[in-house]
A and B are shown apart, each in its own frame.
Chain A
Amino acid sequence: MTTTVTPPETTPAKESKRPRLPKSARAGGTLHGGPIAYAILIVFTIVSLFPLVWTAIAASRDNQRLAQNPPPFWFGSNLFKNLEIAWEDANLGEAFLNTTIVAGISAVTIVVLSTIAGFAFAKLRFKGRNALMLIVIGTMMVPPQLSIIPLYMMVAKLDWSDQLQAVIFPSLVSAFGVFFMRQYLLQALPDEVIEAARVDGASSWRVIWHVVFPAARPAMAVLGMLMFVQTWNDFLWPFLVLTQTGSPTVQVAVAGLGRGYTPDQSLIMAGALLGTLPLLLVFTIFGKQIVGGIMQGAVKG
């Protein structure tokens, strides 16, 4: 993608074949960016990355240094010490384990259920299909905040507070996932393939297992990643039902660092850094795929 820069010699030859167009006609994808475009992008990139880099810088200093002017611009020597203390203080070891469990279960379940439901909405005919799909889309518009009070009562009644299932179950409802998979399967799975499997006598479950899952694999990966990120970063609900000392998720644990009696800023930054690091690593490694997935989902959405 980044290597398809056409050498300048070939451009005139190409243009002579096509009808002569004014230069402005080649907007939208074919025009090379000028220095101003690069300058804006670089500024934007710096703004995007600076707070993260500075988190690491602040985490590598100590509280005293952060209470001085000018603020530090380069790394100090306390990074690993602070990370270690933050890890201990915020109960981050358990928090990471908990969050991985919650986000993992939630992402896998959402992906599987959404693929199956999305397949039904995209490819099967049944009574009430359109009405049900409208309901799915409608539920996307309802903010989850509106249901937290009864959910909280349910959790209290079931005695689930500070237990992971209190966070897992409500997170399994994802209308977005159903919509996302439906949009993908509408295009990616030709009707003939399903027909062929039917003709061979495959039941609907076999069709799902042998035809739909293989065809949907790329979208399932993207959806899984999006859901994992979303659950990993979820704050309000875990904050209500989990406590820092009980079984926190990473966000609850990190937020707890900032509410200490004598907040040590460098420790808070170390915690913030630790809470973000795993996802940043994933985004660095799979960045291209994630970007592609979000953009694909956007067009089809």
Chain B
Amino acid sequence: MATRHDTAALPSKGGAAPGRPSKGSAPMDKDQRRRAKLSRRWQRDMRWSPYAFVSPFFLLFIAFGLFPLLYTGWASLHQVELTAPTDMSWVGLKNYTRIFDDEFFWNAAQNTLTIGIIATVPQLLIAMGIAHILNYKLRASTFYRVAMLAPYATSIASASLVFVLLFGYDYGMINWALDFVGIDPVDWQGEKWPSQFAVSSIIIWRWTGYNALIYLAAMQAIPQDLYESAALDGASRWKQFIHVTLPSLRPTILFTVVVSTIGASQVFGEPLLFDANKGASGGAEHQFQTLGLYLYEQGWVNQHLGRASAIAWTMFAILIVIGIINQLISRRLRASS
């Protein structure tokens, strides 16, 4: 049994060789042919089934990922209106040159960057701190972990609607609390920085716990003796964190930075719902309109799908640049360590 496919594989290789049928009794021949057939099927299986197994993913990806991505580039060279999306007329690079003079695009790009920073940096720092604490021996540690994952289970739509109410100017909980400690109410929707902070806080709230769990998992994988030898060298707890924990977490940190950057570049639902009455403008003065929201406004409110496509591809280009910078930094970090 153990050698069945090995022996069967041999005749199939020399199967066409005519010199073999010296012991050409009919039943033997039949048996051999059956074996050869089996082994051919076997070889076919071994050779082609891996491709069969990965092909569903790639077919779906080509149909709903790659093709649309490329077609966005094609559409960005055309004038296309939402009302007749199949009617395309060539305009060359006009949609792109237009972007460069478009103050709203640059405003949105800036907002995306600042909201991205306000949302990502504190989020990851807090997550790191929480993960460090969770890494202690604790009572009810499962409870904290599940509790901090609750925001992750909350949808963008629900979370945004609740935060709009909490950040309300007249009757919001946060202004009430500020008033309680003697601070004047803040116009969380109307003013630029408060509104960006408020939108970012929704993102921070939803993702900090999740990232903390990822950091915690990586911390638990750090071998204990690294800490012991560091301690024997007289390193304080803080120094251990800096010299043992952080370097070991470097790949995880890079991973979360990449994921958060991609997430931050596509922020859409939070600013859309943060001021639902203003539609997709991201506040009366576009003060918290992100690129994702601007893309939507151009494509679906102003109905210019071609221009929206150009925005999408510019976003793509920016992301690639960020990715390259990220690679360079991480390579340098690796080289320096």
- The answer to whether A and B assemble together is yes
Which positions in A face B, CB cutoff 8 Å? 1-2, 5, 21-22, 24-33, 37-38, 40-41, 44-45, 47-49, 51-52, 54-55, 58, 66-71, 113-114, 116-117, 119-121, 124-126, 129, 132, 135-136, 139, 141-154, 156-157, 169-170, 172-173, 175, 178, 198-201, 203-205, 208, 229, 232-233, 235-236, 239-240, 250-251, 254-255, 257-259, 263, 265, 268-269, 271-273, 275-276, 279-280, 282-284, 287-288, 290-291, 294-296, 298-299, 301
| A51–B205 alpha-carbon span in the complex (Å) | 9
Whether B159 contacts A51 by the Cβ 8 Å rule is yes
Q: Say if the beta carbon of B89 comes within 8 Å of chain A.
A: no
Can you report 12 residue pairs joining A to B where beta carbons are below 8 Å apart? Answer: A2-B140, A24-B240, A25-B228, A27-B241, A29-B137, A33-B133, A120-B54, A145-B292, A149-B71, A235-B269, A272-B157, A299-B217
Of the candidates B66, B136, B265, the one whose C-beta lies within 8 Å of that of A143 is B265
Most B CB within 10 A of own CB, among A152, A205, A298: A298
Q: A240-B300, A280-B150 are in contact. List 18 more A-B contacts (CB 8 A).
A: A2-B141, A25-B231, A28-B222, A30-B137, A45-B144, A71-B171, A126-B51, A147-B72, A199-B4, A203-B45, A204-B46, A233-B156, A255-B157, A258-B164, A258-B273, A279-B154, A290-B149, A295-B217
Most B CB within 10 A of own CB, among A229, A236, A263: A236
* Interface 0/1 of B197-232, CB less than 8 Å to A: 000000001000110011011111110100110111
| A256–B235 alpha-carbon span in the complex (Å) | 56
Whether A132 contacts B145 by the Cβ 8 Å rule is no
Whether A150 contacts B71 by the Cβ 8 Å rule is yes
Whether B64 contacts A5 by the Cβ 8 Å rule is no
Which residues of chain B are within 8 angstroms of A203 by Cβ–Cβ distance? 42, 45, 49
- Which residue on chain B has the smallest CB distance to residue A65? B171
* Interface 0/1 of B145-173, CB less than 8 Å to A: 11111111111111101111110001111
Whether A48 contacts B147 by the Cβ 8 Å rule is yes
Of the candidates B61, B130, B227, B315, the one whose C-beta lies within 8 Å of that of A41 is B130
The smallest beta-carbon distance between B67 and chain A, in angstroms, is: 7
The smallest beta-carbon distance between B243 and chain A, in angstroms, is: 12
Which residues of chain A are within 8 angstroms of B141 by Cβ–Cβ distance? 1-2
The smallest beta-carbon distance between A166 and chain B, in angstroms, is: 11
Most B CB within 10 A of own CB, among A151, A153, A157: A153
The smallest beta-carbon distance between A296 and chain B, in angstroms, is: 7
| A158–B152 alpha-carbon span in the complex (Å) | 34
Most A CB within 10 A of own CB, among B68, B135, B142: B68
Whether A145 contacts B150 by the Cβ 8 Å rule is no
Whether A2 contacts B142 by the Cβ 8 Å rule is yes
Q: A173-B65, A198-B5 given as contacts; is B46 within 8 A of A30 (CB)?
A: no
Whether A119 contacts B53 by the Cβ 8 Å rule is yes
Whether A291 contacts B57 by the Cβ 8 Å rule is no
Whether B60 contacts A172 by the Cβ 8 Å rule is yes
Which residues of chain B are within 8 angstroms of A173 by Cβ–Cβ distance? 57, 60-61, 64-65
* Interface 0/1 of B91-131, CB less than 8 Å to A: 00000000000000000000000000000000000100110
Of the candidates A45, A147, A156, the one whose C-beta lies within 8 Å of that of B68 is A147
Q: Say if the beta carbon of B247 comes within 8 Å of chain A.
A: no
| A173–B67 alpha-carbon span in the complex (Å) | 13
Q: Say if the beta carbon of B281 comes within 8 Å of chain A.
A: no
Whether A294 contacts B210 by the Cβ 8 Å rule is yes
| A70–B171 alpha-carbon span in the complex (Å) | 7
Whether B171 contacts A298 by the Cβ 8 Å rule is no
Of the candidates B171, B214, B227, B236, the one whose C-beta lies within 8 Å of that of A68 is B171
Q: A146-B313, A151-B68, A287-B142 given as contacts; is B231 within 8 A of A21 (CB)?
A: yes
* Interface 0/1 of B30-67, CB less than 8 Å to A: 00000000000010011101110110111011011111
| A236–B241 alpha-carbon span in the complex (Å) | 40
